[in-house]
Amino acid sequence: MQKTMDSIYSRRSIRQYKPQQITSQEMKTILNAALYAPSARNLQDWHFSVVQDPALRLKLKKILIENMNNSGIGFLIQRAEDPNFDPFFNAPTVVFISGDTGDKFVDVSCGAAAQNLMLAAESLNIGSCIIATPELLFAADKEDELKKELGFPSGYHFVCAITLGYKNCENPAAAPRKEGVITYL
């Protein structure tokens, strides 16, 4: 139990990674933890697309930056114009989590899987960061083509992405926790 709590309390969103790829055994362990997450009605209607190919990651980065520039949203445009900006924080692995559009609870199920995935990564001293900006990848006219290239099953939509890699920084301190968010009845 203490190891679980240690992973929960020490996990941080990491935005600096070493270029070295995580091992296939580490990736299997991390993905297996995601598969053991609870899911609404035990449908397990999630899918994990693991991007480790540098050329594909670069292609996704370019599409995402282009879509950010075309979004009309000031802070996204400003970030995209930074020549050092990488929406994936130069992580060697990005896991795209998609879910069945026919299940109204799939986002909750995918969120639970994402949390298991990140806690498993932390237990292996692998950094992670959940990101939603890649939703803009699917904002252009090539959405179906991109979903197919990423291996999304038919009828699935993007939920979130997780960057993974060996940490190239110290774990930042935890942000202060919000008070007043628990009510006992």
Enumerate domains of the chain plus CATH numbers.
2-166 (3.40.109.10)
pLDDT at position 141 is 77
Return the DSSP state at 84. T
- Return the ∠ at Cα 163 (arms to 160 and 165), rounded to 5°: 160
First to last CA, the chain: 27
- In total, the chain counts a number of residues equal to 185
Distance CA 106, CA 46 (A): 7
| Residue numbers of the chain with a pLDDT score lower than 70 | 1
pLDDT at position 172 is 82
Instruction: Give the sheet arrangement for strand 93-100, strand by strand.
Output: 46-51, 93-100, 156-166, 126-131
Q: What is the CA radius of gyration of the chain?
A: 17
pLDDT digits (tens, 9 = 90+) for 22-75: 999 999 999 999 999 999 999 999 999 999 999 999 999 999 999 999 999 999
The tokens for 138 are 């699917």
Distance CA 17, CA 5 (A): 24
